Structure 1
Amino acid sequence: MTDTTQAPGQMSGNVLFYNQPEPLNLEQHGKLGVTAVDKPYGFVGTSNLVPLTVTEFAPAALSYPVIFIGETQKQPVAVMGLRAGENFYIEDNGQFRADAYIPAYVRRYPFVFANDDVQKRLILCIDRTASFLTEGGDTPLFVDGQPSDYTKQAMEFCNNFEQERQRTDSFVKLLTDLDLFEVREANFTPRNADGTAGEPQKLAEYFAISEDKLKAMPAEKLAELRDNGALGQIYAHLVSLLGWDRLIALAFTRAAQTPAAANA
């Protein structure tokens, strides 16, 4: 896995998953609708990192390691694969594994807010390349020249997501100001044929919250983190790091199912 202390290019500048975002409007998109398609989450299958908001740490921790990436940004993400371009949680039918948490970042697709720097507002956009957006689709985006109930619900979801994104930014800033981050490595020690331990292999390097720094904090600061809810999210993140073992197990399962690809 590549060094995840640096945010991947697709997460800085271009928006992950969105190939052709367009401001939603009646003139261009009045005939569009959403239709069920094969492999509905196929667009997630080529990304091993998916952004999370802070309130998702606890449910996401049951499925993935929750880590922070980017030297400055420290974006929280769910790790879904050990290398760029792979995702162990999207099955061949394009669905998430039944036991996996689906991040809100994925659930809002193909909608997304964009900044209007001129009017200082957010504009609702859609990814025009989304496979399930078609002319005359079963669930229209507009009805009688007005946004449909589906579109209104999507806008509300994006509004809520934006609030959670801002809350996440504040959470990261708080941890940064308290100097609680450290660089960590995820390592794997294979077994030799005779059962002895092989050479450790580094899977990833990333930012995590330092347990030692957390323990060294004054009691009143810990109380503040407890009272504002940050401490619970911190522990959810720390517990999630046990999930690296799950990812390794999934990697072995995937390799066993596709031996030709594994040996290529």
Structure 2
Amino acid sequence: MASAPANALPLFYNDLQPLSSQLHASWKAKTMESAEFFGKAHAVPLTVEEFIPAQRHYPIVFSVGPDPVPLALFGLNEGVNVFTDEKGQPTRDLYVPAYVRRYPFMLARLRPDSDDLSLCFDSTAGLLGEFDDGAPLFEGEEPSEAIKNTLAFCEQFEQAGMRTGMFMQELIQNKLLIDGEVTIEPDGGGQPFVYRGFQIVSEDKLKELRGDVLRKMVQSGLLPLIYAHLFSLSLIRDVFSLQMQQGKAPAMPAPAVPA
């Protein structure tokens, strides 16, 4: 149901080009009027800073594999997002993850031997180009105010990503993650739907933590994040109900397809 993207490029991105004052001096940015990529996303990476606002809207789970990441769950099956229309526009009050909001930009390393990050964009998005209308990317050789704000947002996202990585290491080191499974019986009876392919925090293992470890989690602010995740799991059945209402549930009960 929810596994980390395995492609060379991150989820949503089809190509990455560094933004250049020489190559893109006259380019402008269009306003994103639709986000079909988001409308087809059933799971999107989430940072720990977003757990508190996100847990009110949708489930927060963790991907499977050796390097799990937090995921916002928008649907229980691949290609299903019950919170948006086909153009990716939210159909209800919704916290949209920063991962979605930064698109088509992101910070990336251009050289494997360097830790320097450059502002890049997905050239296939069709949002940047030599357009008549739009927000300029540069003012002379200097980034425009809009690009400065975009760069600051992407830098904050990278910093949040580092803190998220530290949070995940705490979960792994303390062996708190277990395979998740949810069984949902459809109204009117019939064979239940069983969803797997994600991880959750084990409440039993959390209760068994030593006092000093638990105290450290309280002091560092990790414990509220864990409980935000646990509280959000009750929304999985709400997501299923929305899928049924929207006619997006699978015809026959079966384990969900990994991303």
Alignment TM-score, normalising by the size of structure 1: 0.88
Q: Whole-Å Cα distance in 2 between the matches of residues 186 and 77 of structure 1?
A: 16
What are the superposed Cα offsets for residues 23-64 of structure 1, whole Å, 9 maximum, x if unpaired? 11022222221223532x222112211000011111111111
Q: Whole-Å Cα distance in 2 between the matches of residues 118 and 29 of structure 1?
A: 26
What are the superposed Cα offsets for residues 62-113 of structure 1, whole Å, 9 maximum, x if unpaired? 1111000032111111011121112112224531233111101011111101
Q: Report the counterpart of residue 256 of structure 2 in structure 1.
A: none
Q: Does 1:133 align with 2:133?
A: no
Q: Report the counterpart of residue 241 of structure 1 in structure 2.
A: 233
Residue correspondence of structure 1 range 154-169 to structure 2 within 5 A: 154-169=150-165
Assess, with a 3 A threshold, how the Cα gap between structure 1 residues 141 and 251 changes in structure 2: closer, same or farther. same
Q: Report the counterpart of residue 7 of structure 1 in structure 2.
A: 4
Q: Report the counterpart of residue 147 of structure 1 in structure 2.
A: 143
Q: Does 1:34 align with 2:34?
A: no
Q: CA shift at 1:215, angstroms? A: 0.7
Long gaps (5+) in structure 1: none
Taking only the aligned residue pairs, the percentage that are identical comes to 36
Question: Quick check: which one's strand share is greater?
Answer: 1
Kept after mapping to 2: 8 A contact 1:37/1:131: no
Q: Whole-Å Cα distance in 2 between the matches of residues 191 and 67 of structure 1?
A: 25
Q: CA shift at 1:162, angstroms? A: 0.5
What are the superposed Cα offsets for residues 103-138 of structure 1, whole Å, 9 maximum, x if unpaired? 010111111011232333111101112233232341
Residue correspondence of structure 1 range 217-256 to structure 2 within 5 A: 217-255=209-247
What are the superposed Cα offsets for residues 171-220 of structure 1, whole Å, 9 maximum, x if unpaired? 0001100111111102211233xxxx433221233111100000111222
SS in 2 for 1:26: coil
Kept after mapping to 2: 8 A contact 1:42/1:90: no
For the aligned residues, what is the CA RMSD?
2.0
Q: Whole-Å Cα distance in 1 between the matches of residues 224 and 88 of structure 2?
A: 33
Q: Report the counterpart of residue 113 of structure 1 in structure 2.
A: 107
Q: CA shift at 1:254, angstroms? A: 1.0
Assess, with a 3 A threshold, how the Cα gap between structure 1 residues 91 and 217 changes in structure 2: closer, same or farther. same
Q: Report the counterpart of residue 255 of structure 2 in structure 1.
A: none
Q: Whole-Å Cα distance in 1 between the matches of residues 91 and 158 of structure 2?
A: 26
- 2:47 corresponds, among 50, 53, 64, to 53
Q: Whole-Å Cα distance in 2 between the matches of residues 35 and 121 of structure 1?
A: 28
Kept after mapping to 1: 8 A contact 2:68/2:168: yes
Kept after mapping to 1: 8 A contact 2:39/2:86: no
SS in 2 for 1:125: strand
What are the superposed Cα offsets for residues 119-160 of structure 1, whole Å, 9 maximum, x if unpaired? 331111011122332323411111122110110111111111
Q: Whole-Å Cα distance in 1 between the matches of residues 137 and 104 of structure 2?
A: 12
Q: Whole-Å Cα distance in 2 between the matches of residues 231 and 95 of structure 1?
A: 33
Q: Whole-Å Cα distance in 2 between the matches of residues 103 and 14 of structure 1?
A: 18
Q: Whole-Å Cα distance in 1 between the matches of residues 239 and 82 of structure 2?
A: 8
Alignment TM-score, normalising by the size of structure 2: 0.90
SS in 2 for 1:9: coil
Q: Whole-Å Cα distance in 2 between the matches of residues 17 and 249 of structure 1?
A: 26
Task: Show structure 1 runs of 4+ deviating over 4 A.
Answer: none
SS in 2 for 1:187: strand
Kept after mapping to 1: 8 A contact 2:58/2:235: yes
Assess, with a 3 A threshold, how the Cα gap between structure 1 residues 95 and 191 changes in structure 2: closer, same or farther. closer
